[in-house]
Structures are given as structure tokens and as C-alpha cells.
Amino acid sequence: MAFGGYSGQAYSPAGDKGRFVLPPLFRKAVKDSSDGRVLCLMKHPTWNCLVGFGLSRKEELHAQIDREEEMAIRLGKEFDRDTRSSQLFGFVELPFDDSGRFVMPEHLRTLGGIEGGLYFQGGGRFFTLWNPDELAKMGDDWASAKAACGSFLEEVKAKGK
């Protein structure tokens, strides 16, 4: 089956030893995209969160650089292909097990403000991974994601009682 993108929402509490779990919905999509169990993670360029995707996005990123360079040439603007490549391909490739467990590098936890659990939000070509407190700071256009995250947190709190 062809890769259909990332959609939906999920929450995963932080595990022991710095491990997190890629929820089943996203795990399947990453496997489909990566032809295996490889999760790509990096800091989002503008939001205070992380971006996740599978290896199939590499082709798309090469095409994006080509488009950006072509546009810069048309507009007579400077374009540093090496810098842009470093920005787009600066992601970390992380293996995950059959249960979706993976270890997040400390530098990514710091960049994404990740302290406890992770809220996952589908975004089509990628998905975002949020510290719920950081998501709560987003504007009204994130109302649906904030409501879903709040609901997941209430479920976790209820299970803990």
C-alpha cells in the first residue's frame, strides 16, 4: 500500500530511560514511509516542537531545495544551497522497536522543550511532537489540537487515579 501521509492525534507519556513510544497510528505510517522502523526527527523551523516523518520524505526535501533555488534565481535573490540542505537534512534517524519505543536524543528534547509526555499531531507530509505546555501557548488556529491534547491528558490523569 502506498504511503498516505500522517493524520490524527495521540499522546504518549514519557517512559523510563528517556524512552518514548510512537503511537500505533503514527507507527504504521512511519513504517509505510520508511520501509521499516526508522523515525526521522528534527526541530520545527518556527514552532516550539519537533517534526517527525519517515525516510520517504528525503526525496521530497531534495525537490523542495530545487524549487527554492529555482525561485531564488527567478527573483534574483541569493540562495545558499549548502546552508538550506543542512537545515532540511539535519534530522536524526532513530530506530524503534515493534512496540514503537525509541530513545530521543537529549538535544532534541531540549530543542522541543520536551519534558514529560508527547502529544502527536498529524500534518500530512509530517507530524508534530509537542510538549503539551508548549502547544497550549499556540494561537486559536490550534484550538482543535489543544482540545485533543487536553482530552488525552485528562484520560492519563484518570487512569493514574
CATH number at residue 16: 3.40.1550.20
In this structure, the number of other CB atoms found within 10 A of the CB of residue 38 comes to: 16
Averaged confidence pLDDT in the chain: 91
Q: Summarize the confidence of residues 60-81 as an average pLDDT.
A: 93
Could you tell me if residue 23 is inside a domain?
A: yes
Round to whole Å and give the CA distance between 131 and 12.
Answer: 11
Round to whole Å and give the CA distance between 20 and 39.
Answer: 12
**Domain region containing 108:** 9-55+94-160
What confidence tens digit (pLDDT) does each residue in 39-70 have?
A: 999 999 899 999 999 998 888 889 999 999 99
pLDDT in the model for residue 17: 74
Could you tell me if residue 21 is inside a domain?
A: yes
Could you tell me if residue 102 is inside a domain?
A: yes
Could you tell me if residue 22 is inside a domain?
A: yes
Could you tell me if residue 82 is inside a domain?
A: no
Round to whole Å and give the CA distance between 127 and 50.
Answer: 8
Domain total of the chain = 1
Could you tell me if residue 15 is inside a domain?
A: yes
Q: Summarize the confidence of residues 112-119 as an average pLDDT.
A: 90
What pTM was computed for the model? 0.88
Could you tell me if residue 26 is inside a domain?
A: yes
Could you tell me if residue 77 is inside a domain?
A: no
